[in-house]
């Protein structure tokens, strides 16, 4: 028998109390989740911006459905496998914000493009464009956006000049359709994004090439998205769960964080040290600029100083008052929620401490 099925008896079930669940386990507060979706969608609606949630944060089709029902226009994926899972669940407007290379992935991309109407990818080099153009020759044309580096320092062409040149290459290919521009900017750099989009559009207008989509992105400065009037849409993932990094960025408060990792104090070897059962295999080692590994709701002055795989070492010397005891359960707001989704096969949801549903993290664990 499949081991995963064999041990399914230990899974949380609707109606269970959170207090009965084995730790460590990430749980999602349904009301905070719904409020996060509403709040961001309202902002986008108010500013007439199309909103494209990035599903890498949750990898769960039912959550993308909530996002779309609230008003989102399509979804954003980072990998072929994510797009495959969501396409199989009926999503049609999917932007994969990645340079796709290699025959195995191109074949799967072509299959997706045949099956659904709205597959779009990005490219930031002539190598990627040439390879896409060659692979899609004789097939249904593929829509490709140009990825622009507006200061984020990851992928993307470096200047509007380069963006226009690459766009012309895409537009000139009979097997590709030029879809527009895409960027994943540094937070709080709206002016740079606006300049990049406007300049590229101006260059392309001379050739009569239309940048239909101008896709901006990111959660941290999401509520400044209206400062990029040239953008037609905004992409964001983390906002649905939120996390400690988003609270620090000013996007939300700690009270808006829908994900908590439940953990248990398993040891208190010294008066100033407790050990939790949530280590790097439950929280990840993502620091995102913090010097510690998460915020303990019940003990905000405790500091998770280090993680090993199944242990968190917590310095409690700064706690003024009652200190955590062995056996006590705590809630950790993680530094970064998106990577935690990638660790767990299932995500547990609750309202007021009672489990409402358990969803498969359907798009994790697959071949790219």
Least separation in angstroms between CB 182 and a copy of itself: 13
Scan for tokens 């979706």, then name that residue.
Answer: 37
Q: Which is nearer to a copy of itself, 21 or 204 (CB)?
A: 21
Q: Which is nearer to a copy of itself, 138 or 153 (CB)?
A: 153
- List the structure tokens of 334: 């993680």
Binding string to a copy of itself for residues 83 to 102, with x set by CB under 8 A, is what? -xx--x---------xx-xx
Q: Which is nearer to a copy of itself, 230 or 342 (CB)?
A: 342
For the CA atoms of 171, 117, 362, 108, the dihedral, rounded to the nearest 10 degrees, stands at: -60
CB 51 within 8 A of CB 36: no
Piece in contact with a copy of itself (CB under 8 A), picked from 34-42, 196-204, 242-250, 285-293: 285-293
Binding of a copy of itself by 269 (CB under 8 A): yes
Q: Of these, 268, 295, 303, 355, which contacts a copy of itself (CB under 8 A)?
A: 268
Q: With CB under 8 A, what is the number of residues at the site for a copy of itself?
A: 75
For CA atoms 117, 232, 170, 209, the dihedral sign is: positive
CB 261 within 8 A of CB 283: yes
Of the candidates 140, 109, 104, which has an alpha carbon nearest to the alpha carbon of residue 122?
A: 109
CB 356 within 8 A of CB 63: no
Q: Of these, 313, 319, 330, 333, which contacts a copy of itself (CB under 8 A)?
A: 313
- Going from the C-alpha of 58 to that of each of 28, 66, 89, 261, the distances in angstroms are 11, 12, 15, 15
Q: Of these, 51, 203, 239, 344, which contacts a copy of itself (CB under 8 A)?
A: 344
Q: Which is nearer to a copy of itself, 19 or 206 (CB)?
A: 19
Q: Please count the other Cβ atoms lying within 10 Å of the Cβ belonging to residue 163.
A: 28
Sorted by sequence, the CB contacts under 8 Å of residue 223 that are 6+ apart come out as 43, 251
Binding of a copy of itself by 366 (CB under 8 A): yes
Q: Which is nearer to a copy of itself, 39 or 108 (CB)?
A: 108
Least separation in angstroms between CB 287 and a copy of itself: 7
- Bridge partners (DSSP) of residue 142 are 176
Least separation in angstroms between CB 73 and a copy of itself: 23
Q: What SS3 class is residue 245?
A: helix
Q: Of these, 29, 190, 277, 292, which contacts a copy of itself (CB under 8 A)?
A: 277
Q: Which is nearer to a copy of itself, 49 or 338 (CB)?
A: 338
CB 346 within 8 A of CB 359: yes
Binding of a copy of itself by 197 (CB under 8 A): no
CB 69 within 8 A of CB 42: no
Binding string to a copy of itself for residues 145 to 164, with x set by CB under 8 A, is what? ----x---xxxxxx------
Q: Of these, 68, 75, 228, 362, which contacts a copy of itself (CB under 8 A)?
A: 362
Binding of a copy of itself by 3 (CB under 8 A): yes
Piece in contact with a copy of itself (CB under 8 A), picked from 22-30, 135-143, 164-172, 227-235: 22-30
Q: Of these, 14, 92, 127, 318, which contacts a copy of itself (CB under 8 A)?
A: 127
Burial of 134 (0-12, 13-18, 19+ CB in 10 A): exposed
Of the candidates 102, 103, 104, 64, which has an alpha carbon nearest to the alpha carbon of residue 82?
A: 64
Binding of a copy of itself by 275 (CB under 8 A): yes
- C-alpha 19, offset from chain centre: 28
Q: Of these, 42, 137, 267, 317, which contacts a copy of itself (CB under 8 A)?
A: 267
Strand pairing category for 176-183 and 213-217: parallel
Least separation in angstroms between CB 75 and a copy of itself: 16
Binding of a copy of itself by 360 (CB under 8 A): yes
Residues between 64 and 83 with contacts to a copy of itself, criterion CB under 8 A? 78-79, 81
Binding of a copy of itself by 4 (CB under 8 A): yes
Q: What SS3 class is residue 346?
A: strand
Strand pairing category for 259-270 and 25-29: antiparallel
Binding of a copy of itself by 124 (CB under 8 A): yes
């Amino acid at each position: 028998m499949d081991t995963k099925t064999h041990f399914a008896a230990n899974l949380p079930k609707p109606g269970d109390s959170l207090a009965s669940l084995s730790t460590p386990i990430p749980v999602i507060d349904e009301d905070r989740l719904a409020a996060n979706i509403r709040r961001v969608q309202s902002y986008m609606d108010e500013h007439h911006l199309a909103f494209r949630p990035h599903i890498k944060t949750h990898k769960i089709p039912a959550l993308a459905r909530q996002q779309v029902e609230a008003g989102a226009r399509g979804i954003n994926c980072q990998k072929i496998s994510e797009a495959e899972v969501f396409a199989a669940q009926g999503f049609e407007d999917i932007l994969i914000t990645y340079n796709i290379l290699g025959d195995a992935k191109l074949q799967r991309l072509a299959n997706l493009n045949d099956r659904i109407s709205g597959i779009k990818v990005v490219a930031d080099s002539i190598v990627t464009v040439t390879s896409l153009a060659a692979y899609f020759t004789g097939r249904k044309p593929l829509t490709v956006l140009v990825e622009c580096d507006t200061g984020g320092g990851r992928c993307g062409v470096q200047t509007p000049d380069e963006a226009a040149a690459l766009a012309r290459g895409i537009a000139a290919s009979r097997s590709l359709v030029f879809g527009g521009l895409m960027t994943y900017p540094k937070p709080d750099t709206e002016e740079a994004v606006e300049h990049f989009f406007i300049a590229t559009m101006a260059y392309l207008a001379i050739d009569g090439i239309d940048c239909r989509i101008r896709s901006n992105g990111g959660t941290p400065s999401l509520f400044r998205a209206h400062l990029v009037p040239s953008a037609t849409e905004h992409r964001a993932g983390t906002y649905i769960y939120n996390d400690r990094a988003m609270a620090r960025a000013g996007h939300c408060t700690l009270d808006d964080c829908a994900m908590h990792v439940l953990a248990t104090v398993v040891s208190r070897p010294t008066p100033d040290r407790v050990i939790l059962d949530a280590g790097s295999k439950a929280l990840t080692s993502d620091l995102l600029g913090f010097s510690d590994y998460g915020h303990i709701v019940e003990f905000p002055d405790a500091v998770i100083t280090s993680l090993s795989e199944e242990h968190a070492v917590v310095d409690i010397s700064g706690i003024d008052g009652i200190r955590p005891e062995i056996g006590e359960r705590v809630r950790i707001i993680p530094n970064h929620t998106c990577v935690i989704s990638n660790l767990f096969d299932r995500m547990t949801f609750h309202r007021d401490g009672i489990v409402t549903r358990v969803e498969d993290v359907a798009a994790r664990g697959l071949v790219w």
